[in-house]
Structure 1
Amino acid sequence: MKVLIDNGHGENTPGKRSPDGRLREWEYTRRIAGMVIIGLRNKGIDAERIVKEMVDIPLSVRCRRANTIYRETGGNAILVSIHCNAAGSGSDWLSAHGWSVFVSNNASVNSKSLAVCLGETAIKKDVFVRQPMPGQLFWMQNLAICRDTVCPAILTENFFQDNKEDVEYLLSDEGKLMVTQIHVDGIIDYLKKNKR
């Protein structure tokens, strides 16, 4: 199984940063994506970044890249898109906080299973997981990166870039390691449960 990692946005994406400018989503998620890929490869898992460019790549191109790899692997790939959440426009500190995972409205059973594996991993690590309702670990939205890819696909929102405490945590070594391990351990759990 090949694991495709999509880091959200690019250096030319407007906004997408903490109110104090210390956390820039494109830069942060790019770093985390790299750490996740290394973590998976160290466990013998084939992992690849689908956006090697520093600039933002259109969602249609990202989806096309993932779909091409999925076909090349004979339908043996999954996609994880890594982001940081925001409750507002980025100009003010707000109170929304925590970690969450999303699938598309047309999500497959495997996409939902992948989302659950990451959500359960986060809970096991004592991370506050935002849920749309009790007992449902994933949110459903019309997200192009998940909707228009043919492989199982999820999008993670790793805490809030407009919550002061979340930003401090995200920028800490402990926070970076935690965000990385949620992804690595959750993906490994999914792969174990879905061995072919």
Structure 2
Amino acid sequence: MKKLIILLDPGHGAETPGKRSPDGTLREYEFNRGVSRLLQKKLLSCGIDARLTVQDDTDMPLVQRTNQARDSKRQGYDVVLVSIHANAAGNGWSTANGIETYTNDQAEKLAQIIQRRLVADTGLRDRGVKRADLHITRESARYGIPGVLVELGFMTNKDECALLKTPAYREKCATAIAKAICEHYAVPFKVTADNPQPVAKPVDKVSIEINGTRLAASGYLRDGVSWLPVRAVAEAVGGKVEWCAATKQVKVNGHDLSVTIESGVSYAPARELAAVLGLQVTWHQAAKTVELSSGRA
């Protein structure tokens, strides 16, 4: 029996044009990578070899993603390509909603299980399993590889956009897909509580500059994403911060943010926070510094 590899493809990159919510508070790549990394950990814990097509925030060309699947098959593996996405409709907010899964002939049964699990676990509208001329499903089929592309909710729908930002929803999506893959390949699914805990990755401290001035507070870098202290950054540029203790939700200038709480301080992804504050963001790797600017001289 050939070894099975699940190749997880977190669609798009940090600078892919248009792949963000209408208000700019959510970039699709952040959601895609968050779900993909969670899914990889769950599959590895179940004994399934799960690999990411791309490790950083760049937008790898589609042909390179499907070529990875092709090359793994040529090496003698059974390969399945699963691409993770958030959906969009139109140029502004819309009422389009729900989850849909695209597939090719080789992955029809797996796609049906994934769609069923996702709808059951998230409670979102079932938009069905579909076929379309998508590179991921079309080109993987050329090599006889099962290809699935899942759309896990609309970032152009205000309610679903708010969901997509939350760690809890990303966890639900990753768990549902992991369960579906385990079901399809008859592998026991191990719930998170029973999974071996991975060794914590080092968290790098990052400095923050706003319009050339160093901020006293600092942020941190985890899994390639810079997280900044919400109140310190927002108040430095006159932003309004609201905190709802009941929902543990932070609003900046009236926009909900996806946050993590560390020692009582709320942190948000740098690009998401910059978007609601009307700031441009630049990352300097050598200096481990996030530079925020208003764009004004």
What TM-score do you get using the length of structure 2 for normalisation?
A: 0.58
The residue aligned with 1:115 is 111
The residue aligned with 1:88 is 90
Q: Is structure 2 residue 73 aligned with structure 1 residue 70?
A: yes
Aligned partner letter, 1:54 = D
The residue aligned with 2:7 is 4
Tell me the CA shift for residue 44 of structure 1.
Answer: 1.2
Contact between 2:99 and 2:119, CA under 8 Å: does it hold in 1? no
Q: Which runs of 5+ in 2 are unaligned?
A: 188-297
The residue aligned with 1:56 is 59
Question: Of residues 142, 152, 157 in structure 1, which corresponds to 2:151?
Answer: 157
The residue aligned with 2:220 is none
d(CA) in 1 for partners of 2:6 and 2:33? 16
Which structure would you say has the larger RCO, counting Cα contacts within 8 Å and 6 or more residues apart? 1
d(CA) in 2 for partners of 1:10 and 1:181? 23
The residue aligned with 1:142 is 133
Aligned partner letter, 2:130 = W
Tell me the CA shift for residue 12 of structure 1.
Answer: 2.1
SS at match of 1:18: coil
Aligned partner letter, 1:48 = R
Query: Which protein has the bigger helix share?
Result: 1
The residue aligned with 2:253 is none
d(CA) in 2 for partners of 1:75 and 1:129? 35
Contact between 2:31 and 2:170, CA under 8 Å: does it hold in 1? no
Deviation string 1:15-73 (CA, Å, 9 cap, x unpaired) is 1111121210012101111111001111111100012242111111111111101221x
d(CA) in 2 for partners of 1:154 and 1:129? 19
Q: Which has the larger radius of gyration?
A: 2
Distance change >3 Å, CA 34–CA 167, structure 1 → 2? same
SS at match of 1:66: helix
Contact between 1:79 and 1:153, CA under 8 Å: does it hold in 2? yes
Q: Which runs of 5+ in 1 are unaligned?
A: 132-136
Q: Is structure 2 residue 217 aligned with structure 1 residue 192?
A: no
Contact between 2:26 and 2:165, CA under 8 Å: does it hold in 1? yes
How many pairs are equivalent?
A: 181
Tell me the CA shift for residue 146 of structure 1.
Answer: 1.1
Contact between 1:99 and 1:127, CA under 8 Å: does it hold in 2? no
Backbone CA RMSD of aligned residues: 1.5
Q: Is structure 2 residue 100 aligned with structure 1 residue 100?
A: yes
Q: Which runs of 4+ in 1 moved over 4 A?
A: none
